[in-house]
Amino acid sequence: MNVSGKPWGPYLLVAAGAVAGLGMIAYGFAVWVGGAVIGFALIAGAALRLIVPDGRAGLLGVRTRRVDAIVFLVLGSALVAGSLNLLLRMHST
């Protein structure tokens, strides 16, 4: 899919991971599992942003390559850490 001259491939991979995580929560999986899936999708987006050239990054490329990767990595890591924190809190009660 290519709308307005920008490739959508990397963006759709990250969006599919986020939708998969939300779908897992909607279908009754534990919230921490869905949150971790979304977080790992964002971490994969950071890796894609570093690997894919600027011309092919499409909608993942908003700022410079380094800033985009750092933002995706921080948000994904925070979501994974928060999700695993939910798991630890459930086991400690």
The dihedral sign for the CA sequence 64, 66, 67, 73: positive
- pLDDT value for 48: 93
Q: What is the C-alpha to C-alpha distance for residues 60 and 51, in angstroms, rounded to an integer?
A: 12
User: In sequence order, which residues have a C-beta less than 8 Å from that of residue 79 and are 6 or more positions away?
Assistant: 35, 36, 38, 39, 42
What does the pLDDT average to over 82-86? 91
Question: Higher confidence at residue 7 or residue 17?
Answer: 17
State the pLDDT confidence band at 1, using cuts at 50, 70 and 90.
low
Q: What is the C-alpha to C-alpha distance for residues 64 and 72, in angstroms, rounded to an integer?
A: 12
User: In sequence order, which residues have a C-beta less than 8 Å from that of residue 50 and are 6 or more positions away?
Assistant: 65, 69
What does the pLDDT average to over 2-17? 82
pLDDT, one tens digit per residue, over 18-69 is 999 999 999 999 999 999 999 999 999 999 999 998 888 888 888 899 999 9
> Are the C-beta atoms of residues 58 and 9 closer than 8 Å to each other?
yes
